[in-house]
Amino acid sequence: MTLSLSGHLSGAAYQRVVERARGELAGPDHRGMLGQIRAEVAESWRRSLVVHGGLGKPLEPRLVTDSDLREVRQGHPLAPVLPIIRRLLVEPAADANLIVAVGNAEGHLLWVEGDDQARRRADAMGFVPGADWSEASMGTSAPGTALYSGRPVQVSRAEHFNPVVHPWSCSAVPLRDPADGRIVGVIDLTGGDEAISPLALPLLKAAAEAVHSAWQERLLPSPVPAPVRGSILHVTGGLPPRLAGSDGAWREIPGKHAEILTLLTWHGAGLDGAELEELVYGYDAGTTLRAEVHRLRRALEAGVPGVTLRARPYRLEGALATDAVLAREALRRGEVSAALGHAAGSVLPRSAAPGIVEIRHQLNLALREAVLEDAEIEDLWTYLARPEAVGDLELWMTALKMLPVDSPRRALAVSTVERLEAEAR
């Protein structure tokens, strides 16, 4: 069944299919009905079933204290950009009888604003500031599933895991730090069918882009760490490869150029033509590689002062580093926090170049082992936010052992460990 994210989601026929799927989940074989609903919802239901059990049980969100909520709000990067969200989203939402929720990366709603009547109704299901609406707390919902998947999500009525939320529909988009691609929050639009109209996601995405631009232009610190001289090529994390110059300016780097530069900085002594061809293409590229190197050399001459690409062997001269190499060097010095600060995620995660795949594997393995053996709880918790750590039972169990008994993070750690252990059976 192919569904658009406009009329069909809230249509009576599809909602009947969803209700039948919910009923089938109580039986011995529910795979057939799950195949009739949207894949992202079915996947979220499966995750939620592991944590919460049957679909019929009403859920109530965990709540942080008022003092904790004030502290989280004050220190969160979303606080300075609230005027942007209010102007672009809250004001239009109030006119359409909708509410806007802004949450952090853990799923806690920090601000819930919009139509007064809708907010009073939402209070009854715990959709309030300080409530945890992650999947671990409330099952399938737009904000929780968007945070888990890292993608925009729409959830309509009975698609919600929690039956208490069935009168509602919602759309949400995750917010990422432009510096490293990490998810730092979520914006959600909740209400009736208008919350999943064809305009809902474009409106949310426009607001998210405005927030990202504000962070990048005014709120982020200098992209070049003080101890590092010259230019830094950022190749880790979810954002496109980009060069931070010594003047603080940013520019995106084409994928193939980023691959070559990553390989040459990782193999500092240089690579001959055959080696570089094999690492970039996996076969004899011949003229293709030479042409690419020629274009890269010209780009460096025009845009990266003091950095030269030499031949025989291919090597770089000048002050250019990648965040991947900086992370590797920090690990060699035993500086786990610094390594995590340099490496925002996997190396060029969309690249299939053999040499990049190997670097990605080496650095991921080295970071994991360092975090497991030597990290303090804050570094470990930072690492657990990465996509590669989502299903790492050993790391989550280590975090659970290290967290204080009164830590608000324990609930997430406990539910994650329970889910992963159940999946492993």
Asked whether the predicted pLDDT for residue 150 surpasses 90, the reply is no
Of 219, 248, 267, which residue constitutes the final position of a domain? 219
Asked whether the predicted pLDDT for residue 358 surpasses 80, the reply is yes
In this structure, are 235 and 349 located in the same domain? yes
Tell me the C-alpha distance between 153 and 80, whole Å: 25
**CB-based contacts of 152, cutoff 8 Å, min separation 6:** 146, 171, 172, 173, 174, 201, 204, 205
Q: Is the residue at 76 inside a domain?
A: yes
The residue type of 369 is E
In this structure, are 55 and 117 located in the same domain? yes
User: 367-377 pLDDT, tens per residue?
Assistant: 999 999 887 88
User: 212-248 pLDDT, tens per residue?
Assistant: 877 766 544 333 433 445 678 889 877 778 887 655 5
Q: Residues 220, 178: contact at Cβ < 8 Å?
A: yes
Of 219, 253, 288, which residue constitutes the final position of a domain? 219
In this structure, are 22 and 149 located in the same domain? no
Q: Is the residue at 120 inside a domain?
A: yes
Q: Is the residue at 59 inside a domain?
A: yes
Question: DSSP secondary structure string, 104-142?
Answer: ETTSBEEEEEE-HHHHHHHHTTT-STTBB-SHHHH-S-H
Asked whether the predicted pLDDT for residue 115 surpasses 80, the reply is yes
Q: Identify the pLDDT of residue 415.
A: 79
**CB-based contacts of 23, cutoff 8 Å, min separation 6:** 33
Q: Identify the pLDDT of residue 216.
A: 67
Q: Residues 10, 156: contact at Cβ < 8 Å?
A: yes
Q: Identify the pLDDT of residue 224.
A: 41
Residue range 192-207: average pLDDT? 89
Tell me the C-alpha distance between 330 and 8, whole Å: 52
Q: What percent of the chain has pLDDT over 70?
A: 88
Q: What percent of the chain has pLDDT over 90?
A: 31
- Tally of structural domains, the chain: 3
The residue type of 356 is I
Q: Give backbone dihedrals phi and psi of 54, rounded to 5 degrees, phi first.
A: -65, 160
**CB-based contacts of 20, cutoff 8 Å, min separation 6:** 33, 36
In this structure, are 48 and 197 located in the same domain? yes
Tell me the C-alpha distance between 290 and 306, whole Å: 22
Tell me the C-alpha distance between 355 and 275, whole Å: 10
Residue range 91-113: average pLDDT? 92
In this structure, are 93 and 182 located in the same domain? yes
Residue range 285-309: average pLDDT? 82
Q: Is the residue at 1 inside a domain?
A: no
SS3 helix, strand, coil % of the chain, rounded to 5? 55, 15, 35
Q: Identify the pLDDT of residue 4.
A: 39
Asked whether the predicted pLDDT for residue 67 surpasses 50, the reply is yes
Q: Is the residue at 403 inside a domain?
A: no
Q: Identify the pLDDT of residue 54.
A: 72
Q: Answer with the residue of higher pLDDT: 411 or 116.
A: 116
Name the pLDDT band for 62 (thresholds 50, 70, 90): confident
User: 300-335 pLDDT, tens per residue?
Assistant: 887 777 788 888 899 988 888 899 999 999 999 888
Residue 25, token pair as written in the block: 């989940």
| Domain extent at residue 27 | 7-38
Residue range 385-392: average pLDDT? 80
CATH number where 328 lies: 1.10.10.10
| SS3 state at 282 | coil
Q: Is the residue at 407 inside a domain?
A: no
Of the candidates 183, 228, 180, which has an alpha carbon nearest to the alpha carbon of residue 344?
A: 180
Asked whether the predicted pLDDT for residue 149 surpasses 80, the reply is yes
Q: 234 - beta bridge partners?
A: 242
Tell me the C-alpha distance between 154 and 392, whole Å: 27
Of the candidates 175, 180, 176, which has an alpha carbon nearest to the alpha carbon of residue 326?
A: 180
Residue 49, token pair as written in the block: 């079933």
In this structure, are 34 and 51 located in the same domain? no
In this structure, are 202 and 61 located in the same domain? yes
Q: Identify the pLDDT of residue 424.
A: 79
Q: Identify the pLDDT of residue 284.
A: 63
User: How many other C-beta atoms are found inside a 10 Å radius of the C-beta of residue 416?
Assistant: 22
Question: DSSP secondary structure string, 154-220?
Answer: EEEGGGSSSGGGTT-EEEEEEEE-TTT--EEEEEEEEESGGGGSTTHHHHHHHHHHHHHHHIIIIIS
In this structure, are 73 and 115 located in the same domain? yes
In this structure, are 265 and 374 located in the same domain? yes
Residue range 341-356: average pLDDT? 89
Global confidence as pTM: 0.54
Asked whether the predicted pLDDT for residue 127 surpasses 90, the reply is yes
In this structure, are 194 and 84 located in the same domain? yes
Q: Is the residue at 200 inside a domain?
A: yes
Q: Identify the pLDDT of residue 219.
A: 42
Q: Is the residue at 424 inside a domain?
A: no
CATH number where 139 lies: 3.30.450.40
In this structure, are 249 and 308 located in the same domain? yes
Q: Identify the pLDDT of residue 243.
A: 82
Angle at which helices 142-149 and 39-52 cross, to 10°: 100
The residue type of 294 is H
In this structure, are 247 and 205 located in the same domain? no
